Chains A and B, each alone.
Chain A
Amino acid sequence: MSQTDFDLVVIGGGPGGYVAALRAAQLGLSTAVVEATHLGGICLNWGCIPTKALLRASEINHLLHDLDGYGFKADAVSFDFKKIVARSRAVSKQLSSGVSHLLKKAKVPVFEGFGKLDGVAANGRRKVLVSKKSGTPQTLTAKNVILATGARARILPGLEPDGQFIWSYREALVPEEMPKSLLVIGSGAIGTEFASFYRNMGAAVTLVEVAPRILPVEDEEISAIAHKEFEKQGIKIFTNAKIGTPKKGADSVSITVEAGGKTETITVDKIISAVGIVGNVENIGLEGTKIKVDRTHVVTDELCRTGEAGVYAIGDLAGAPWLAHKASHEAVMCVEAIAGKHVHPIDVTKIPGCTYCRPQIASVGYTEARAKEAGYKVRVGKFPLLANGKALAMGEPAGLIKTVFDDATGELLGAHMIGAEVTEMIQGYVIARTGELTEAELSETIFPHPTISESMHEAVLAAYGGALHF
């Protein structure tokens, strides 16, 4: 009989859960993972990775339609949409099986099934009941349990995904054919990425946002630049908008959009609803425990502890920001704390966020407005990519790098970027913020030339009165 008692059982095998298991194994804890559907979670299967594979295709499509500017000529450029989607699925599959290998190598057994807390055994250990599609449920016992069941799309009434006209991110990732027109509800990272993907593949796209601006969590100036760039690309944008109930026709769907005192009826092939997510808190045995749930998320302290001793919650289940790297970092911190190591709670102002639309957006820390709200006297530096040699050489002049410093101490409070490759560059500012570098060290850092990252240096100098090339 195989082992059923562990130091740690992790429920959920996403970037929170599987990373927790890998770290626990490294630290010598006997560990098991319970996963209901697919290792790698939303991130690898229905989130970060497949979207990036699709967005890469749409970037290529954009370039292929912009060849003239680089001196190329190609006739009859076309694509096979099924192949593009198939490639995205293949990448996901490759990574998901990669996770399976990593766990095997770490000697972490994976129990396929739906896990739930099931009280405490006579010997004081926590019980986890694993239900499988067929066969009798199995009980595991463990000293510690980490809940990492993740989240799913929030569904607004009237906008339930129907597989035909109304999509959540799931359906939007595996379309049968290329829609000619769509309307995306919600301009957070997920909505914006789908809008960008489908627009760059050639669809007519409308983006609708209830807040006064798109990408509402980003710095206002970044939102404004994104807005302008998207409109230039032909995306129709409504902000401060209210939507009506969709009316489904034979082969299209209509919906009213009320914005700026006008109401418009928009008819499209598909509607993508991207209005946030809800935590997977149901049926995992929280009832009757001291574990609290607040608006679909498990309540934890700064070390991911729930109301029950020995039960932890991490990742999307435990609340915002809903990002894979936040889930993985919490996983490591939580496991290290369980193993008795000294850990540091996460500071959300040090977690970067990226949106892989075109142009890309990346940020960390305080926006200018939030820094002022927090009472800082700020120094702001800005540098447009238009003044950057590499950006021009690449043919990617759209964008801005913006830094926000605390005038009193030189602390880098936040950094906000829009432009080509910025998602690969933001880590420079994240290191600076985490390592508590001030403008002095950043100014003294030598950046390679020519790179787009030189703009990061210039944006620091600009905050202190001296961008050299602008």
Chain B
Amino acid sequence: MATEILMPALSPTMTEGKLARWIKKEGDVVTSGDVLAEIETDKATMEVEAIEDGVLGRILIAEGTEGVPVNTPIAILVAEGEAVPAAGAATLAAPAVTAGQNGPAVAPQAAAPAPIAPTPAAAKAATGARIVASPLARRIARQKGLDLATITGSGPNGRIVKRDVENAQPAARAEATASPASVSTPPSAGGSRLVPHTTMRKVIARRLTDSKANVPHFYVSVDVELDALMALRAQLNALADGEGEEGVKLSVNDMLIKASAVALKKVPTVNAYFTEEGMLLHEDADISIAVSLDEGLITPIIRKADSKSLREISLEAKSLISRARSGKLKPEEFQGGTFSVSNMGMYGVKDFAAIVNPPQAAILAIAAGRKQPVVSGNEIKIATVMTVTLSVDHRAVDGATAAQWLNAFRTAVQSPLSLVL
């Protein structure tokens, strides 16, 4: 008979923990006492042992998943030869953080906002897992506009109960209970408000801190003239107009994604992950594009941008961005990626530097294009110029290579025919 293996409690007060590592794989034969997985809390690590013989039929919680409620089924054990039943209870997808060899989930952006991983919401929604919550918790969540899928249940078998949704948000109550000690500046007479973090905010905080602390960054900037690219865009869009309904209007951003892909093909050592074992060089240019959301940022991926036409890139980018904003991305659409592009041109910024999105080796920050005088030969002319800054993981890419890549990017933008050929 198939049995569910539940998330164990390491201590009486533990309510959730991290599924650190699966020791056994799906399909592995296990005997009672075998270590199946490792569980971590902030305090301890423990092994989960099989209590019966069988076959690890299905892993329900991917390794690296944090905040797994105690008693949540984490895997299904079946008898040898038995069919694995359809995933039963709560199936949480691994947060993007586990990226590992699939690459990063998210592209951190500028010094300002940043990257994001799937919230449990996105993950649960994507896998269609059942959410177990009390009627009262459901109602309070609805009233507060909380997504139950983002909340960890502390009730029996991980059921979401009132205290979970009450704790899940700021509002008046949290404000009242926030101890002065936890707020560095005591609230002034005008009032300060403590807004508890969303899961997305926590992931942003953790991933960017990790990146800034552990990845040795350096930054290289160049100015790039946009006039030729904009002229080409105008021509292509005029053609598209003639195609009526079928016509696809290209954005400058679509073209810069393509230019990045072209540059990655020219200087392939930038299209890499630094790993302990060696440099992982990628064949395809899978470009993560930073999309800002009200609550943070997510980075859907245009796969194989190097081999796609501008039209394909444009269509795909539009679809990804709109689904990102409505929270409908599938995990595989934002997990992975080999290089990131963060464009803040629409905000009129002069220049900025982004934080590398590990394990990727580089991220390109694109500022606004502005008309300005440039010296061409011995003459001064007016051109539309933008500053782009490449942030680089120095373990993977050296300065000369970064400069080479930027030159390749500039050439692709300033002589844009390579984008359509």
Contact = CB atoms under 8 A, between A and B. Distances in A.
A435 B134 CA distance: 7
Contacts of B15: 342
Contacts of B155: 344
Given A340-B9, A342-B9, A436 B136 contact: yes
Interface in A300-345: 303, 336-337, 340-344
B155 to A, nearest CB: 7
B180 interface: no
Contacts of A336: 12
Interface stretch (B116-124, B137-145, B404-412): B137-145
A408 B11 CA distance: 35
Contact of A343 (B12, B135, B140, B143): B12
Nearest to B71: A342
Contacts of A411: 136, 162
Nearest to A301: B13
Contacts of A340: 9, 11-12
B105 interface: no
Chain A interface, DSSP helix/strand/loop, else mixed: loop
Interface stretch (A6-14, A73-81, A155-163, A437-445): A437-445
**Contact-size category for B:** 20 to 34
Interface in B117-161: 134-137, 139-140, 143, 154-156, 161
B136 A303 contact: no
Interface in A268-284: none
Contact of A342 (B70, B135, B162): B70
B135 A440 contact: yes
A410 interface: yes
Contacts of A303: 12-13
A441 B12 contact: no
Contacts of A435: 134-135
A376 to B, nearest CB: 12
A438 B136 contact: yes
A409 interface: yes
Interface in B24-54: none
Contact of A409 (B11, B13, B14, B140): B140
Interface in A394-408: 408
A362 to B, nearest CB: 22
Given A342-B70, A342-B71, A441 B9 contact: no
Contacts of B9: 340-342
A441 B15 CA distance: 28
Nearest to B173: A375
Contacts of A344: 154-156
Contacts of A408: 143
Given A342-B70, A344-B155, A409-B143, A436 B134 contact: yes
Given A342-B70, A411-B162, A441 B139 contact: no
B162 A436 contact: yes
A341 B12 contact: yes
Contacts of B140: 409
A408 B14 CA distance: 31
B12 A409 contact: no
B132 to A, nearest CB: 12
B37 to A, nearest CB: 17
Nearest to B134: A436
B309 to A, nearest CB: 54
A410 B139 contact: yes
A437 B71 contact: no
Given A342-B70, A342-B71, A436-B162, A337 B136 contact: no
Contacts of B12: 303, 336-337, 340-343
Interface string A235-254: 00000000000000000000
A337 B70 CA distance: 14
Contacts of A440: 135, 139
Interface string B206-248: 0000000000000000000000000000000000000000000
Contacts of A337: 12
Interface string B342-379: 00000000000000000000000000000000000000
A343 B70 CA distance: 10
B161 A436 contact: yes
A411 B135 CA distance: 9
A438 B139 contact: yes
A441 B135 contact: yes
Interface centre among A303, A336, A343, A435 (most CB of B within 10 A): A435
B225 to A, nearest CB: 59
Interface string B158-177: 00011000000000000000
Nearest to A342: B9
Nearest to A347: B163
A336 B156 CA distance: 14
Nearest to B156: A344
A342 B12 CA distance: 5
Contacts of B156: 344
Contacts of A341: 9, 12
A437 B138 CA distance: 10
A436 B9 CA distance: 24
Contacts of A441: 135
A111 B364 CA distance: 76
B64 to A, nearest CB: 22
Nearest to B70: A342
Interface centre among B12, B15, B134, B139 (most CB of A within 10 A): B12
A410 B134 CA distance: 12
Interface string B1-33: 000000001011111000000000000000000
Contacts of A438: 135-136, 139
Q: Determine which residue in B134, B136, B139, B156 has the highest number of CB atoms from chain A within 10 A of its CB, and name it.
A: B136
Interface in B47-77: 70-71
A409 B135 CA distance: 10
A430 to B, nearest CB: 15
A341 to B, nearest CB: 7
A177 to B, nearest CB: 52
Contacts of A342: 9, 12, 14-15, 70-71
Nearest to A410: B139
A438 B136 CA distance: 6
A282 B154 CA distance: 38
Contacts of A343: 12
Given A341-B12, A342-B15, A409 B136 contact: yes
B14 A437 contact: no
A61 to B, nearest CB: 44
Nearest to A334: B12
* Central interface residue in A303, A343, A438, by most chain B CB within 10 Å: A438
Query: Which 8 residue pairs of A and B lie closest in terms of their CB atoms, listed nearest first?
Result: A436-B134, A342-B9, A436-B136, A337-B12, A342-B70, A438-B135, A411-B136, A438-B136
Given A336-B12, A341-B12, 6 more contacts: A303-B12, A340-B11, A342-B71, A343-B12, A435-B135, A437-B135
7 contacts: A340-B11, A342-B70, A435-B134, A436-B161, A438-B139, A440-B135, A440-B139
Interface of A: 303, 336-337, 340-344, 408-411, 435-438, 440-441
